[in-house]
């Protein structure tokens, strides 16, 4: 029996044999032989079969993949937002359950396995079908693979940089309602919003470093503007000087000279994009609650090196929702 590997091609029978080998497969019929969304027996996992440009009756599916691995995808034309499967997809948590994407550009081709998906957003103004955006996790497709399967990646439009006035590198906003899990969007925002998924970003140290440097500049300028240039000179990029493991990234100061320990989390996505924290970072926020700040930099623009941010002070577990997704395990 074949095993599952990224960017290899499979027919429906082979996919069935990998995920449900003890059930019956009937070509061109039933769940495994025909349907676009397949629930894997005994799990809350799904398989998506996607064929670009497919029609169902008079409806033409508007689907595609961007250069950074964002899949635009529609449900079946009969499905509404109240459909149980749709509700399960909206509430999908990729750290617990899986959605496997099998993709092709023509009906005559086999499907190529492109990887697992993570929910990004859905359009609450449209249904029958429901419109989704998904991030393909660990997106690293090569030009050779894209050409082989006939995939034309959609470009990401970058607005021109305006230079008429000095750019404010980092702008502060109030924290969002973190408890609002579902990242719904109006049709206008859904079609135009550029997204980046943060569960892979935490490994991207370069992006993290960019965000930290924005915060350092912001802290120094704040101290200078408020008459404390002496403190501005003492601001330290701890993560760069000492390295990871201290529980914070930047050492700064209040205007009265009290130290501030700042942890920076950066994303190109929106303010509600989830992020990763270590147990060491969480415990440090508890031990130093009076002096601890988490700066969440979001909407980071790689072209202009600008972004927005909000800050949370104190023990983070009192303000944020923590979902355990990994454990260090040893024998009793």
Note the pLDDT tens digit of each residue in 219-272: 999 999 999 999 999 999 998 888 777 889 999 999 999 999 999 999 877 787
pLDDT of residue 104: 94
Note the pLDDT tens digit of each residue in 267-322: 877 787 778 888 899 999 999 999 999 999 988 887 788 899 999 999 999 998 88
Q: Is there a contact between 253 and 223 (Cβ–Cβ < 8 Å)?
A: yes
**What does CATH list as the number for 9-149?**
2.30.280
pLDDT of residue 168: 52
pLDDT of residue 164: 43
Note the pLDDT tens digit of each residue in 11-67: 999 999 999 999 999 988 888 998 889 999 989 999 999 998 766 666 667 788 988
The radius of gyration of the chain from alpha carbons, rounded to an integer in Å, stands at 23
Task: Give the pTM.
Answer: 0.63
pLDDT of residue 184: 65
Q: Is there a contact between 107 and 51 (Cβ–Cβ < 8 Å)?
A: yes
Q: Is there a contact between 110 and 102 (Cβ–Cβ < 8 Å)?
A: no
d(CA 22, CA 84): 26
DSSP string computed for 163-232: -SS---SEEE-PPP-TT----EE-HHHHHH-----TTTGGG-HHHHHHHHHHHHHHHHHHHHHTT-HHHH
Note the pLDDT tens digit of each residue in 126-138: 888 899 988 898 8
Note the pLDDT tens digit of each residue in 80-116: 999 998 998 888 888 788 999 999 999 899 999 999 9
- Domains in the chain: boundaries: 9-149, 170-318
Please name the residues in contact with 289: beta carbons below 8 A apart, sequence gap of 6 or more.
Answer: 314, 315
Strand ranges in the chain using DSSP code E only, listed in sequence order: 9-10, 37-39, 46-51, 55-56, 59-60, 64-65, 70-74, 99-104, 111-123, 131-136, 170-172, 184-185, 250-253, 259-266, 292-301, 306-313
d(CA 85, CA 64): 22
Please name the residues in contact with 124: beta carbons below 8 A apart, sequence gap of 6 or more.
Answer: 81, 184, 185, 186
């Amino acid at each position: 029996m074949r095993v599952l590997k990224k960017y290899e091609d499979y027919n429906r029978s082979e996919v069935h044999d990998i995920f449900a080998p003890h059930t019956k497969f009937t070509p061109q019929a039933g769940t495994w032989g025909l349907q676009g969304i397949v629930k894997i027996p005994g799990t809350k996992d799904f398989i998506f079969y996607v064929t670009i440009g497919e029609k169902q009756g008079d409806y033409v599916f508007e689907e595609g993949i961007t250069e950074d691995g964002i899949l635009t995808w529609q449900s079946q034309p009969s499905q509404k937002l109240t459909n149980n499967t749709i509700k399960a997809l909206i509430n999908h948590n990729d750290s617990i359950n899986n959605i496997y994407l099998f993709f092709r550009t023509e009906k005559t081709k086999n499907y190529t396995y492109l990887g697992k998906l993570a929910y990004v957003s859905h359009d609450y103004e449209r249904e029958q079908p429901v419109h989704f955006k998904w991030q393909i996790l660990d997106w690293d497709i090569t030009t050779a693979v894209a050409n082989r399967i006939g995939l034309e990646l959609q470009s990401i439009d970058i607005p021109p940089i305006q230079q008429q006035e000095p750019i404010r590198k980092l702008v502060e906003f109030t924290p969002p309602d973190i408890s609002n899990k579902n990242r719904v969007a109006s049709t206008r925002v859904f079609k135009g919003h550029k997204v980046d998924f943060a569960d892979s970003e935490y490994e991207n140290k370069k992006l993290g470093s960019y965000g930290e440097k924005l915060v350092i500049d912001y802290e120094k300028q704040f101290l200078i503007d408020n008459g404390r240039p002496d403190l501005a000179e003492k601001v330290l990029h701890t993560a760069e000087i000492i390295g990871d493991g201290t529980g914070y990234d930047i050492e700064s100061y209040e205007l009265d000279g009290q130290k501030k320990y700042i942890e920076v989390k950066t994303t190109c996505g929106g303010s509600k994009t989830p992020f990763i924290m270590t147990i060491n970072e969480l415990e440090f926020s508890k031990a130093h609650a009076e002096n601890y700040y988490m700066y969440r930099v979001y909407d980071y623009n790689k072209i202009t090196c600008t972004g927005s941010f909000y800050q949370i002070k104190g023990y983070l577990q009192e303000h944020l929702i923590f979902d355990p997704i990994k454990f260090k395990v040893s024998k009793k």
